[in-house]
Each structure stands twice: as C-alpha cells, then as structure tokens.
Structure 1
C-alpha cells in the first residue's frame, strides 16, 4: 500500500509539474489547429462559383454548403439583416472586382463552422496570391476613443449610404454575431489611395460577439485589424501575412487568448511588419482622452518567425520586432512565447520610461527565445533599464536561444504543424546576443 501511495504521489508531482510548465504559448492537450486549419491553401481546389453575391443584402439570407458563392465587388449586409453561413460553405472573393464583405453596424453574421467543416473565404483565381480580393469587415456600435460616437471606414468602399460603413457608439456589449471556425485566405487587396485591405477588420465590435478559431493566411495587408470596440478573441491564427498579424487602434479593448502568429521573412511586404502593432491613435489630437485608450490583454500567445537562416535574415534586414507598442496604449502579455525576432519588442520613442508607463506595459511569465535583444525603446540602443525591469524575478520571464526544432513540437510539418512548446527540451539562458556579434 505504501509503495502504491508513493507511486501515486510521484505521478501527481510529475503530472503537476508538467501541467504547470506547459502553460507558455498556445496550449491544449491536443493540437487545436487540427483539422480545421490549412497551411497549404494553394494546393486546395475549392471549385467554381454557383451563385453571386453583390450590392446590398437587405433581408435575412442563408448561404448553403451545397453552393459556392462569389463576392462580386463590395457586398454589404445592411438594414439590421442577418447573414447566416452553413458550416463548410465556400465564399470566393472576385479578383477582377476585388470582392469584399461588410457586415454593417446593426446587422449580424452567423458564420458558425466546425472543426471538421470550417467556413472558407478565399480567392477565385486558379493560382492564388496575397491581395487577390478585399476582405471581411464587421462593424458594431461599441466605443472607440475618437471624438463623437461614430467613425467611418476609410478603405475606399463604395456603399449606397454613408451609414453602411459607420461604426462605433456607446454599447461595449454590442453583438454582431458569431464567427467561429472560419478561414480567410489571400485577402488584402491594395488600393492606390487607401493602402491595403485586411483579412478581418473588426470595427466597434462588442463583447457579446463570438470570435473563435479564425485563421487568416497569406494576407497582403494586416491579418486582423481591431479598430475600437471591446472584443474577446480566442484561438486566432495569422499565417504569413505581408504586414502585421494583429493591429489594434482607436481605443480597442481586446482580450487575445491562446492565439498564434507565424511570420516569414520571405513573404513580408515593403512596409515594416510585426506580429502585434498596438496603437492608441494615428494622430494624438484625434483621440478623446476622456475615453479609454487602447488596451490589449494577451495570454498564451505564440509569436514565431520561421527562418531557414535567422542570423543572416536579421543581418540583411528581413526580420523586425515581434511587438510594437505606441504612445498612450496599454499592453499586457502573460504566459507567451516570442521566438526569432530582431528584437522581441520595441516601444514608441515617445514613451517615457518611468514607473507610470511601465505599469501600463507588462510582460510576465513569457519565454523570449532566439531574439536579437528583448525590449527596446525605438531608436535607442541601450536597453539596460528595460532589461533590469523586465528581467526581475517577480515577472518570471525566461530567456533562451534554442532552434525551432527543439523549442516547438513540430514546426517543420508542412501539412499539420504543431506550434506548442516542447517543454522537456528547454534550456533557459540569459545570453540574448549572438556570441559572434
């Protein structure tokens, strides 16, 4: 009996330690990327469209799996209408007209796929490329930090009425529907006057909206763009976007949980690209400081830069920071992994390094791996103050230099990669620079 008790206690200790250790980065007893994600979408044949969506959708509409739909030009769901989409439905964005889908403020989308039957938005071209079509916009009446209660999208969309592209209000609990188990591929068209579209834009979207298990891949713009609002995002995946994986602005209040950003130095566009770009405003004079400014509360993120020769890619300028934090924004990240960047984090040069600002920007229990430096102020080479602050044991951050093959379970699997941390192979180190430098 005594021996059985000892074995049981040993098991509990080992199991408890394993469970406690495996809390950094994306988590799950199983690889939750399977089977709904697709890391080789250019190899998938989605079929030809059987129905066209165009103009305004002004009455409740349901898209069926048996049909394949074509977004022709800018499509708007208006007049408090609900657009429902069956699991497994394919919606193609038209290349010639740069199709897009906008769910206007007051309308709803119910795109509730499943892990075996995701809903897919992709390009209608046989040879797909980033920027083939527009993207998906969801607009709500949750607050922003701009003056007044409403703002308008500025992407060159052509609605029949201005209110169709307005967002923002006083309802943080706003409900714009459900987006779950959805893939958005090859979006992010470029416009001459308005820059790039994004894969998924959430503008003034509120807390009651359900946004889970969304994968945006090969987007020419940002994968996810959150403008104001108050949202909870769970199990997001950004794969090889050309600009930023997650961009926040205009007083966005966002909880980002158990999510992934996979960058490649070989697909980034001309603009500086990062995993997370956290801003409170474009112009300070446009922000109403009586309102809440941008706050991103992130937990269990994995931010990884996949490089075949990281040292050389950094040397030739192909690798940027993982996270950029702008003036007046607040940011908290916990139990996360940041691997393979130059450096891990940059603060806007306007942020003064004092106790007040450092209380607004928190890094705790985070694993910094293979980064050429950790946390810096923009254009300032000496980061000793920040290293001392965030290196304090109270924050429980870890610094290491390990190859991807030893850091993650299986990042080299082209079909079904696994980006969970390989805990048993971790060797922590305070050495943050290459010995050869």
Structure 2
C-alpha cells in the first residue's frame, strides 16, 4: 500500500472518531460468570433420566425441573410449537443415539434459566467426552445471503420433513424465543459425511430472539455457529472447544458483547481452531454478493489462550490465530482483549489492503497481549503496513507481553475463574450497572 493512502486514511479516521476511555475485555462490577457457569462439568452428577424426548414435538410442551430428560435421536419441535424449559432443568443428550434438539423455523424455545439455577444440556455418560451427543439447533426466518431465501441444514439430521430443517427468509426481526442462563456441555457429535455438530447453531435467527448468558464447554465442533440471521449475543462463553468458538457465515449480522472465548493449546480437532472465524459465505457459488454480507460488531470481548508454557506450545505448533476474517466480511472490534496467540489476527489472502477494506475492518481500543505477531494477511510474513495502520494512536490499541497472572484477576481457577483485566491492581469494570 502507498504510504500517502495510509496517511490520508489515518487523518480521516482520527477526525471522525471519538475514543471512548472504558476498560477493555469482559466487564462488570461483579464477576458475571458466578454462579451459573461450570468449568469442571465432568465432576457433576445429574442423576438418571426420568423422561424421554424423541421424535417430533407438535404441541406446546413444558419441561420441568423435577424431571431429568433424555434426548433420544434427533428431536424436532415443529408446527409453530413452543417448548418451555423451567430453570434448573437438566436435559441429557443420549450417547448411543447421539441425541440432538432442533427448534424448527416458526417454533419457539423459552429457556429462561436463572443465575443460581441454570438450564443444562449435557452428556448422558457418567464419564463425559466432547462429542458425546449432538447439540442444539434453533432455526428462524431471518435473511441469509444465499441465493435462495430458504436453506436447509446440512448435518444429516434424521427428519421426515425438509421443513423441519429449513431456515432463512425475509424477517430480520423474527423471534425464536429466549435462551438465558443455559449451559451446553460435551456436544458436537461426529458424522461421516457432514463433519461435527456444533454446541449451539443459530440459523436464520432474528433480532427479537433474546440470547444472553449462554455457555458451551468441551464441544467437539464449533461452540457457536451463526448462519445468517441478525442476532445480539451478550455474556456468551465458549470453553475449550475443539473447533472454533464463534463461527459466522452466510451473511450473519451479529452483535457480540461482553463475551469470552477460552482456548487451550491441548484441545483441538483436525482443523485450525480459532476464537472467531468470520466468513461471508464459504460456498461462493451459492451466495449473492449484493445481499447481506457478514457483519460482526464486537465489544468487550476477551479471547484468551490458556497455557502453562506458551513459548513451548507455540514452538511445537499448538497455537494459531485468534481471529480469521474472510473476504467481504465487515468486522469491527472495540475495547477487547486478545491474549496468547500466534498471531492475533489473520485476514483472508483475497482481501486487498486498501481504503475500502480497511474501512470494513476495525480494531479500536483493543489490548493485544502475549501474541506472536498481531495482524497479518494469510500466507504473508510481512505485515508492516497493517502494523503501522492499526498501531496508529488514532485507533488507541495497546500492545503488551504480560503473563496471565498479572493481566487477569484469576484466569487459572477452574472453580471460579475471573477473566476481567487487572489495571493498576483494579479490576476492569463497566460504567453502567451490570
């Protein structure tokens, strides 16, 4: 890139941006992970199932805390039905049949857990492993950027009616229900033809759907997969996924706030495992470029790679980038923390570095810590232009090499970790009530 172009862009950006001076990474006067999350789920006993869920649910149904439910096979909620789940309810995914739950387009899930009584989806096994069961799918009629408005899930779900696995439409504000204080553990079954299931798949889900305080842990596939739609995710947690923590595709419009992705160099699948994998459409022959392009607006994220010996793990190739940004994606991240990766960010090699692309990809007031390199083009070891651009004072990014013990309040606890930043020995906090 010509230096004159970078200089001109920086001046324009500096004049048009008011830099907010809030703390970086996950925020809150209190550690909002307490008490609803669980970082050692294999130590928890949930008892034997008392009720079985199977086949197709075609009338309004309520799951009660007093019962423990077993998902047998692929279960579908259809025909504009509402599935309501009481706080504290436990749903076990059957290991033998690799149970899964799909909320079909037009139906609704009302899963309102409580901070002290979350709803739990987990494995039926006494010794739990990633991929023990399928996962949770929520389908809506919000837009995608596929050529056809309606698409179908390609996961090999055993459905007698294609409408049960269809998603997408024209209703960006559609409402698929509520997920609050929900944990999804040990999902991500492997299929021979379609790869791995995700912990939570949101396909064509619209903006009226309420999604906050959701944790996916030890998933063999992606923790969260957002296929099109328009969603706002708040206080989402991905813990030690074997694949990507947040994968966005098919023109997803996603606002992601005050959320976590916690990786381990010792937990990974066959492919590259990233915190955020943002694609416009990984099937370009099926997309329309003038339709919605994938847009990610991220604020107060903490993306951390937990390692006892980061230098060694990097040396033997167990660490890769935290964020991958695909061609034609708009990606803007603000007041966030990216810690312990090699490098922090990679751009698809089809992205041309010019004013148009850099206007779509912003890193502002973000803390890059313990990363071997910051922002690169895929396959290009020379990132001088990008370093100069994003390292400008206009963007207010910060670069450091601090150990986790001096960076986060308590990142190593498996009982009650706290990933808020320590700044001058004071925890990062929100300017508003949490």
TM-score range, shorter chain: over 0.9
Are the counterparts in 2 of residues 22 and 421 from structure 1 also a CA contact under 8 Å? no
Residues 335-378 of structure 1 deviation map (CA, whole Å, 9 limit, x = unaligned):
00000000000000111111100100000000000000000000
Please state whether the residue corresponding to 2:101 is helix, strand or coil. strand
User: Structure 1's 196 and 236: CA in aligned 2 closer, same or farther, altered over 3 A?
Assistant: same
Give me the whole-angstrom Cα distance separating, in 1, the residues matched to 2:50 and 2:254. Answer: 38
How far did residue 284 of structure 1 move?
A: 2.0
Report the equivalent of 1:44: 44
Report the equivalent of 2:347: 347
Equivalent residue pairs, number: 407
Give me the whole-angstrom Cα distance separating, in 1, the residues matched to 2:425 and 2:35. Answer: 26
Matches for 1:187-206 after TM superposition, within 5 Å? 187-206=187-206
Give me the whole-angstrom Cα distance separating, in 2, the residues matched to 1:202 and 1:159. Answer: 18
Tell me which moved more, 284-293 or 72-81. 284-293
CA RMSD of aligned residues (A): 0.9
Give me the whole-angstrom Cα distance separating, in 2, the residues matched to 1:290 and 1:150. Answer: 17
Report the equivalent of 1:333: 333
Are the counterparts in 2 of residues 234 and 257 from structure 1 also a CA contact under 8 Å? yes
Are the counterparts in 2 of residues 152 and 165 from structure 1 also a CA contact under 8 Å? yes
Please state whether the residue corresponding to 1:359 is helix, strand or coil. helix
Please state if 1:57 is matched with 2:57: yes
Report the equivalent of 2:310: 310
Gaps of 5+ in 1: 1-19, 427-437
Please state whether the residue corresponding to 1:251 is helix, strand or coil. coil
Please state whether the residue corresponding to 1:405 is helix, strand or coil. helix
Are the counterparts in 1 of residues 254 and 296 from structure 2 also a CA contact under 8 Å? yes
Please state whether the residue corresponding to 2:394 is helix, strand or coil. helix
Give me the whole-angstrom Cα distance separating, in 2, the residues matched to 1:256 and 1:231. Answer: 8
Matches for 1:15-94 after TM superposition, within 5 Å? 23-94=23-94
Give me the whole-angstrom Cα distance separating, in 2, the residues matched to 1:28 and 1:21. Answer: 15
Give me the whole-angstrom Cα distance separating, in 2, the residues matched to 1:301 and 1:154. Answer: 30
Give me the whole-angstrom Cα distance separating, in 2, the residues matched to 1:198 and 1:317. Answer: 25
Residues 41-87 of structure 1 deviation map (CA, whole Å, 9 limit, x = unaligned):
00000111000000000000000000000000000000000000000
Give me the whole-angstrom Cα distance separating, in 2, the residues matched to 1:23 and 1:108. Answer: 36
User: Structure 1's 357 and 21: CA in aligned 2 closer, same or farther, altered over 3 A?
Assistant: closer
Give me the whole-angstrom Cα distance separating, in 1, the residues matched to 2:265 and 2:366. Answer: 23
Are the counterparts in 1 of residues 22 and 335 from structure 2 also a CA contact under 8 Å? no
What TM-score do you get using the length of structure 1 for normalisation?
0.92
Please state if 1:168 is matched with 2:178: no
User: Structure 1's 29 and 92: CA in aligned 2 closer, same or farther, altered over 3 A?
Assistant: same
Give me the whole-angstrom Cα distance separating, in 1, the residues matched to 2:105 and 2:23. Answer: 38
Are the counterparts in 2 of residues 277 and 323 from structure 1 also a CA contact under 8 Å? yes
Are the counterparts in 2 of residues 24 and 367 from structure 1 also a CA contact under 8 Å? yes
Give me the whole-angstrom Cα distance separating, in 2, the residues matched to 1:75 and 1:283. Answer: 28
Report the equivalent of 1:146: 146
Report the equivalent of 1:14: none
Residues 278-322 of structure 1 deviation map (CA, whole Å, 9 limit, x = unaligned):
000113222111211000000000000000110110111100100
Report the equivalent of 2:405: 405
Give me the whole-angstrom Cα distance separating, in 1, the residues matched to 2:213 and 2:310. Answer: 29
Report the equivalent of 2:283: 283
Gaps of 5+ in 2: 1-19, 427-434
What TM-score do you get using the length of structure 2 for normalisation?
0.93
Give me the whole-angstrom Cα distance separating, in 1, the residues matched to 2:423 and 2:106. Answer: 46
Tell me which moved more, 279-288 or 314-323. 279-288
Report the equivalent of 2:116: 116
Please state whether the residue corresponding to 2:110 is helix, strand or coil. strand
Report the equivalent of 1:359: 359
Are the counterparts in 2 of residues 21 and 423 from structure 1 also a CA contact under 8 Å? no
